[in-house]
């Protein structure tokens, strides 16, 4: 099993950051994301628990199920459909308030396990590195936009 942890400081409050990271449509503006749509809406919030968001990347589409939605605090999901040879245990974006609320840090964690029988560890490592790169890029883009 591979675990990923990426974090990024934002020069704004947690509520603002949560609005960005929880908005499925905004993911389409990230590098490498061709489109981001909702296949199923969450309840009671559209992007909340139970929502299934479809991210179309070059050559691959993945479906994520939102499993936790706590405005200003955390968003969690699990990849439920993907051509990648993995079982996604889950991912979580936790927002830590800093400096009396004027800044915050997002901790993005994820865990996965390869489903291949051959070369399991190298496959896990390779996919985890790609996910970590994508998480890092997304956090950097969002942090720049929210300055």
- Are 24 and 39 in contact, with CB atoms under 8 Å apart? no
Q: Which residues are registered as beta bridge partners of 38?
A: 53
Position 147 scores a pLDDT of 87
Structure tokens at 48: 């909340």
pLDDT at 35: 97
Tokens coding 131 = 């996910």
Whose CA is closest to 96, among 21, 27, 10? 10
How far is 30 from 6, CA to CA, in rounded Å? 17
Kindly tell me if the per-residue pLDDT of 66 is higher than 90: yes
Q: Distance between CA 41 and CA 98 in Å, rounded? A: 32
Mean pLDDT along residues 105-131: 95
Domain count, the chain: 1
Query: Could you report the per-residue pLDDT of 25-59, keeping only the tens digit for each?
Result: 999 999 999 999 999 999 999 999 999 999 999 99
Mean pLDDT of 17-29: 96
Q: What is the pLDDT, as a whole number, of residue 106?
A: 98
Of 45, 78, 41, 43, the residue nearest 62 (C-alpha): 78
Confidence at 101, pLDDT banded by 50, 70, 90: confident
Residue 45 sits in a domain whose CATH number is: 3.30.530.20
For residue 104, give its domain range. 2-145
pLDDT tier at 139, thresholds 50, 70, 90: very high
What the block records as the tokens of 7 is 């974090």
Average pLDDT in the chain: 96
Could you tell me the pTM of the whole model? 0.94
């Amino acid at each position: 099993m591979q675990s990923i942890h990426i974090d990024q400081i934002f020069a704004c409050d947690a509520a603002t950051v949560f609005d960005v990271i929880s908005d499925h449509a905004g993911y389409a503006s990230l590098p490498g994301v061709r489109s981001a749509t909702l296949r199923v809406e969450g309840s009671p919030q559209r992007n909340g628990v139970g929502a299934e968001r479809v991210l179309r990347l070059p050559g691959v589409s993945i479906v994520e199920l939102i499993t936790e939605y706590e405005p200003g605090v955390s968003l969690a999901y699990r990849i439920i459909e993907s051509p990648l040879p993995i079982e996604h245990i889950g991912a979580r974006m936790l927002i830590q308030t800093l400096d009396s609320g004027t800044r915050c840090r997002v901790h993005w964690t994820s865990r996965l396990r390869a489903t291949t029988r051959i070369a399991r560890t190298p496959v896990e490592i390779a996919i985890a590195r790609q996910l970590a790169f994508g998480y890092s890029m997304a956090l950097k883009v969002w942090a720049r936009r929210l300055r």
